[in-house]
Structure 1
């Protein structure tokens, strides 16, 4: 499998190179802004990967930094083009909350994700019916059927990241309760568990269950995802689910804490070859209920 950076990571890589070039000449943000007749905040946003780069702006910055024609200049200008690429999730801006839209961007660009889900099956692993039931439960009072259905479409399209040629490696620890918590109906839950059993066969997907027998594991208090990137975001990011809006953590200490949490969850969970039989037992119990 091969991983290639998308717009988000490319912007970060481009921004890092532009900052390196500026600092190499001992230029301040104000110096560059004055040369380009723009605000220092615009330059700062580009360097932090938060602004959508315009090819012309990057070209002019490279002129200010005296980067000659050649391989380096062409590479940076190509990154400017890639960083402006339209993404499929842009079509869902009317229903995606800002924090989730940003998460989808990072998820799509990630080379590896390690996740823990305490209450429901992770979005990358959900069936269409399960996703619809979960979204109705959470947002049915504030969103109409059409909006719910568009969010279901987002959730299913996100799963293209699990296609082998996309290059994502995904490991997810699911609390055993997720195998029994009815979402929409017992039939929908059964279909979801069957899907988990099937997708666990993929070599780049590792699904583990944190069993009831593990007891109270301190690391299992809240769901989170650790996203790692092959380039552009050196230490990765952590996304923690919150009741109102999710939170992104990028500090080294925060990353280290969640790395420790994930290690503890993996140690307490069953390996996949033991988790799949547990899923099959859950499926039989759902059928007997």
Structure 2
């Protein structure tokens, strides 16, 4: 049978709880769409099968709706998916996709624009981050994060601030997990280390924290610093995160573009490839990774003098 006539398979996407519900839901959504296409059925026919609307099918096939096991089983019957192994794997993915997202514990303070990033980053194989203004959220100390959150949300209660800080600082734990942790390549503008956030002591402790992480997570965390001399390559002006996933044939690359009051996501291959090229160029002109420690130590010494701390 020609490859183009072979039934789509989900067996290449493993059941990995540490990747989070969103990754399982997105992989399953794409698979259901491919199964429907392979069966030669229109969305309205699938909708009729489960007594739903075409918009419900669209949401299911884009990973935006909760999938009920009985509905998925009826769709699989309609699409002619009869292989036991396929249906077992799909059932496992449906079960995983229904679990709460990690950010839901902090749903009152987790910004809606950030939730897709928070939901998908545990499934990332490689994350590239560019930050022109602040230390990236994964790498912030609680002290630094509290000041940043308070600056953006001056009317929040101490409890709300604490919840957002906890959500932000716990993200680093995915780099410490035992099973296939992501690799994070974080590029920061050199001005991040000159821009005072809090007291000189706050900056001193933040840079010391980066040095500790740089040593502790040497295989999972790679830091680069982009000096002003990079010119136009570093004149992006807003944070960018590019994620590539495990089982990438089921999960397309995702790009997160942060804005002051929201975010934009890009998943079309042409768009994600364009931002990949921008970040690759920036990594190429930033200071090499083997210079990062000495640059951080220079920043630490400068803030130590102001904070009257030992360098």
- Does structure 1 residue 112 correspond to structure 2 residue 126? yes
Partner of 2:241: 225
Equivalent residues of 1:164, 1:204 under 8 A apart:
no
1:111 aligned counterpart, secondary structure = strand
**Of the candidates 86, 94, 97, which is equivalent to residue 72 of structure 1?**
86
Equivalent residue runs for 1:251-270 within 5 Å: 251-270=268-287
- Does structure 1 residue 184 correspond to structure 2 residue 201? no
**1:67-126 alpha-carbon deviations (Å, 9 max, x no partner):** 225101111111100111123311211111211122211222222110100000000111
Partner of 2:260: 243
**Of the candidates 147, 155, 175, which is equivalent to residue 168 of structure 2?**
155
**Of the candidates 211, 228, 234, which is equivalent to residue 227 of structure 2?**
211
Structure-2 separation of matches of 1:259 and 1:172: 14
Q: CA RMSD in A?
A: 1.9
Structure-2 separation of matches of 1:235 and 1:35: 28
The 1:4/1:32 distance shift into structure 2, 3 A limit, reads same
TM-score normalised according to structure 2 size: 0.87
Equivalent residue runs for 1:1-289 within 5 Å: 5-68=19-82, 70-140=84-154, 142-165=155-178, 167-201=181-215, 202-231=218-247, 234-289=251-306
Larger RCO (CA within 8 A; separation ≥ 6)? 1
Long gaps (5+) in structure 1: none
Moved more, 266-275 or 2-11: 2-11
Structure-2 separation of matches of 1:69 and 1:26: 19
1:18 aligned counterpart, secondary structure = helix
Cα distance, 1:231 vs structure 2: 2.7
Large movers: runs of 4+ above 6 Å: none
Cα distance, 1:234 vs structure 2: 4.3
Long gaps (5+) in structure 2: 1-15, 307-311
Q: How many residues align?
A: 287
Structure-2 separation of matches of 1:152 and 1:131: 6
